[in-house]
């Protein structure tokens, strides 16, 4: 029975391990490399891609994996730990435990991309330029797909942010929250993943623009509401115009900061 990588929980008294069906002959290949665990990970990823392993499938026990791959139990556990961190397997303990194939959700993938972006030497100007391309590009989908529930939530968010602005407690995190929620209206998981991964760089660019204009947000928060009104009217041209004006002003502030 596979245990959680890095630990060896004791089985409950008299607990009988659920039998593991033998893996198909030739499914796994013995490995030989200085980074053996990574090679195992790549094999399992390929099996997932080829749909030879599917979500819900239970991997063979650690002992059986050691035999299939020709490696030690320590190496197998390291590979399982990597797969679990990537959201590709779920490790369950107990009599019915084991390593079960799953699929990563957009949040997990987004976090991985966000880490890569945060370590990259991105400038606020580059981020804002990317926003112009990306956020204007998804406006037609937003106008087409936004539901009444989406619109109600966006209007409520705008009201909250405008009130925060009047009270002097509006933050760039609130602005980023609005843009993330707007992207949700596309009802596209890939777009959601990209937006989540871009959250850190987005905040960085907004904060840099705010250093140029400390009161940044007063006009922006009202433009947010104008944008939602255009989406509610299913007016792509107006929604695009409002968003373009909104983003280009931020871009101008960022450029002046870097000049």
Give, in degrees to the nearest 5, the angle at Cα 141 between 139 and 146. Answer: 100
From CA 207, how far away is CA 221, in angstroms rounded?
15
- Domains of the chain (ranges, CATH numbers): 1-103 (1.10.10.10), 107-258 (1.20.120.530)
Residue 18 has pLDDT above 50, yes or no: no
pLDDT at 13: 46
From CA 61, how far away is CA 29, in angstroms rounded?
16
Is the dihedral angle over the CA atoms 60, 64, 69, 72 positive or is it negative? Answer: positive
Residue 101: strand, helix, or coil? strand
Nearest of 178, 31, 4 to residue 94 by alpha carbon: 4
Q: For the chain, how long is the longest CA-to-CA vector? A: 72
Residues 97-128: tens digit of each pLDDT: 899 998 765 555 555 555 555 566 677 788 88
Question: 15-19, 87-91, 126-130, 164-168: which has the minimum mean pLDDT?
Answer: 15-19
Residue 202: strand, helix, or coil? helix
From CA 33, how far away is CA 180, in angstroms rounded?
43
Give percent helix, percent strand, percent coil of the chain, each to the nearest 5.
65, 5, 35
At residue 53, what are phi and psi to the nearest 5 degrees?
-120, 135
**Across 223-247, average pLDDT:** 96
From CA 210, how far away is CA 216, in angstroms rounded?
6
Residue 105: strand, helix, or coil? coil
Residue 19 has pLDDT above 70, yes or no: no
Residue 51 gets the label, from left (phi > 0), alpha (psi -120 to 50) or beta, of left
pLDDT at 179: 92
Residue 17 has pLDDT above 50, yes or no: no
pLDDT at 181: 95
From CA 1, how far away is CA 17, in angstroms rounded?
7
At residue 103, what are phi and psi to the nearest 5 degrees?
-130, 140
Number of CB atoms found within 10 A of residue 208's CB: 20
pLDDT at 119: 60
Residue 33 has pLDDT above 50, yes or no: yes
């Amino acid at each position: 029975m596979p245990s959680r990588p890095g630990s060896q929980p004791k089985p409950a008294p008299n607990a009988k391990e659920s039998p593991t069906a033998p893996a198909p002959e030739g499914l796994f290949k013995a490995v030989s490399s200085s980074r053996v665990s990574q090679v195992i990970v790549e094999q399992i990823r390929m099996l997932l891609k080829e749909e030879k392993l599917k979500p819900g499938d239970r991997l063979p026990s650690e002992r059986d994996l050691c035999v299939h791959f020709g490696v030690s139990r320590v190496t197998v556990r390291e590979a399982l730990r990597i797969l679990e961190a990537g959201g590709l397997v779920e490790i369950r303990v107990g009599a019915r435990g084991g390593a079960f194939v799953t699929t990563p959700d957009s949040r997990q993938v987004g976090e991985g991309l966000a880490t890569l972006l945060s370590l990259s030497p991105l400038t606020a100007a580059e981020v804002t330029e990317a926003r112009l391309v990306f956020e204007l590009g998804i406006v037609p989908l937003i106008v087409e797909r936004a539901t009444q529930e989406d619109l109600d939530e966006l209007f409520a968010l705008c009201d909250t942010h405008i009130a925060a602005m009047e009270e002097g407690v509006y933050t760039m995190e609130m602005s980023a929250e609005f843009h993330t929620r707007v992207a949700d209206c596309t009802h596209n998981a890939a777009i959601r993943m990209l937006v989540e991964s871009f959250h850190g760089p987005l905040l960085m660019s907004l904060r840099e623009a705010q250093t140029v204009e400390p009161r940044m947000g007063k006009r922006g928060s009202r433009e947010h509401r104008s944008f939602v009104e255009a989406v509610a009217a299913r007016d792509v041209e107006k929604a695009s115009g409002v968003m373009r004006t909104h983003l280009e002003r931020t871009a101008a502030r960022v450029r002046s900061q870097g000049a």
